Chain A
């Protein structure tokens, strides 16, 4: 069968000694940095991205993917042990996970998180293998008009996930698109917004922007409210869930996986929304609902499986369409472009080893997380206890050196500082960085597709609505926009984000 053949190819690629090693390194580094405070997956991936440039494309993407779910797992660990979620998607895990830890069940909570994540990861690897090829086939028929509309849909969808005002998020998208256009216009060769600075001729590096906004901006915000991380749990014992625990987590894990897979595949969707949704669902259907918030094991299993499912499914739009569903996927696309691969539906046909290797490596990476992290928990606990005053200068050093090494230019370090400042300011006025970064990545692509679409239609903008697929996506975007503007929906959206 084709599927088996493809998976076999993927297995061969991902099991190669080099790829396996880098997958391991990625998962390990991702978890290590994920448990550190104030660094989410996006900042972690951005920080380690320059280290992968010298590798072959497969290895580089496999390692980056490993960093991504490693960082997510690390975030859950801090959520459970110290009630400090490393990122939005593990906010919900902290609710019940930390309570479990306080009751001396930290080991079981961690194991539950790992097991349910692994289960979701396995299911999603299969789902991606099943659904990515037909989707890519459809996408191959896409013309520029369809691509443009799809990107509009992706950008609009990213608003749903943004905190705060919708107007602010829309503004951030536009600003991101504009910043993405800085540099040489590919079509006319005109220099746009370069101010005569030669370093800007190639545009602003997206890693520079991401590191500034997610890394530096976060550090500044963290320093404002320095808190002492009080780790009461010095030793984690009883790592294995009991038979009773198993019985209780099976159904929530299944439900979380299904929900996460659905939400994750939406452009702009992803891990955070999935985790919130799964927790809310369990609270409604679980027969132990009175225990929620007081250390219910279901409250760990459901969001953890959902956020892992969501995170993995967000690879689908990235791999098949070349459209990033979240900032991490935007970074992956950036990594592909730097490696000389044009992201999009043709990747699967042209680079089957890369495509299938990456997919299978997700499963391998999840397995590694499971096998590695439970025994290594002692190391992670010790890393959590490193005082922030030692950590943040080191993080800054690695960010600065990482950004410098992109083009060996100190100019980029200064641009990073500027975006750090901007990122902090935007954070303070409730303007999320994620829509900006998505716009930044999509800006030049959108311009190019719009240009081509209008060239083919001889300047008639109606081409965007007369072609059925393109029209469908624009209608979907409009519906989504109307939905988020509806008072009742915006209320639930606010509530969903209230916890953090």
Chain B
């Protein structure tokens, strides 16, 4: 029976093929030009084809030769969700609209695939395996979202607390709180006041509520 003998080759191949196809699809309008006058599409589209070929070879190889297993489920989840996300993002393109419905279907298929792959696993174990990735990524995203709105005073604790939840060893005690307060103070003094990075200490939520020098 045909089965995946090398998970790493399979996932890498799948990623390369998917991303390569993405670069081809989103670049289909770019003018190729001729070799003597390369258009904007010449180089990227050639490269994207090469990437798809490399990915395909890796995929084929994954069925032929044995390789080690991947010790984290995240890589598999990302590959499963990628087609849906790519089509949904591509839906924003007006030149070659892809039906958004297809994107959602692919995304649901990906989620179903994830559900299928964890059907036998212990929920706690899965949670433990994905926790660092999810919490660290989430922390950075929340920082980006909170910074203009709540300002540093909200964004920093958001990032620190969320990412601390990534570690099983984090302790939420008075010492941790003091370190957090110290860190916020340090960042305000060093980056905003010292180096002049234009980050709001208090963001747009506080418009008119705090003096301007606290908002800048």
A interface residues with partner B (beta carbon < 8 Å): 51, 164-165, 167-168, 170-171, 174-175, 177-178, 181, 185, 187-188, 190, 192-193, 195-196, 216, 219-220, 223-224, 226, 387-390, 392-394, 396-397, 400-401, 404-405, 408, 410-411, 413-414, 416-418, 420-422, 424-425, 428-431, 446-447, 450-451, 454-455, 457-461
Contact = CB atoms under 8 A, between A and B. Distances in A.
B26 A410 contact: no
Contact of B160 (A192, A388, A397, A404): A397
* 9 nearest A-B residue pairs (beta carbon): A459-B36, A417-B140, A459-B35, A223-B132, A413-B144, A410-B144, A190-B40, A185-B40, A447-B43
Interface residues of B, number: 73
Residue among B133, B168, B170 having the largest count of chain A Cβ atoms under 10 Å: B133
B187 interface: yes
B78 A425 contact: yes
Contacts of A393: 159-160, 163-164
Contacts of A401: 187, 191, 197, 199
B11 interface: yes
Contact of A175 (B51, B61, B74, B145): B51
B171 interface: yes
Interface in B18-61: 19, 23, 26-27, 30-31, 34-40, 42-44, 47-48, 50-51, 54-55, 57-58, 61
Contacts, number: 197
A387 B169 contact: yes
Contacts of B35: 454, 459-461
Contacts of B50: 174
B136 A216 contact: yes
A221 to B, nearest CB: 8
B26 A429 contact: no
**B interface: dominant SS:** helix
Contacts of A164: 8
Contacts of B159: 393, 396-397, 400
A320 to B, nearest CB: 26
Interface in B113-147: 129, 132-133, 136-137, 139-141, 143-145, 147
A226 B169 contact: yes
Nearest to B132: A223
A35 B91 CA distance: 46
Contacts of B147: 404, 410, 413
Contacts of A425: 15, 74-75, 78
A405 B197 CA distance: 6
Nearest to A396: B163
B145 to A, nearest CB: 7
B205 interface: no
B132 A224 contact: yes
Nearest to A393: B160
A417 B38 CA distance: 34
A421 B79 CA distance: 12
A174 B54 contact: yes
Given A178-B23, A417-B141, A454-B36, 7 more contacts: A167-B61, A178-B44, A181-B43, A408-B197, A447-B38, A451-B38, A455-B38
B40 A455 contact: no
A224 B166 CA distance: 9
Contacts of A390: 179
B51 A171 contact: yes
B51 A193 contact: no
B70 interface: yes
B58 A424 contact: no
A117 B36 CA distance: 49
Contacts of A387: 169
A388 B36 contact: no
A171 B54 contact: yes
Contacts of A168: 8-9, 12, 58
Contact of A429 (B11, B133, B137, B156): B11
Contact of B54 (A170, A181, A226, A461): A170
A168 B191 CA distance: 40
Contacts of B8: 164-165, 168, 429-430
A150 to B, nearest CB: 17
A85 B50 CA distance: 36
Given A387-B169, A392-B167, A417-B140, A397 B187 contact: yes
Contact of B58 (A171, A392, A447, A454): A171
B198 interface: yes
A396 B39 contact: no
Contacts of A167: 9, 12, 54, 57-58, 61
B160 A429 contact: no
Contact of B40 (A187, A397, A428, A429): A187
Contacts of B144: 400, 404, 410-411, 413-414, 417
Contact of B136 (A175, A193, A219): A219
A405 B190 CA distance: 13
A174 B167 contact: no
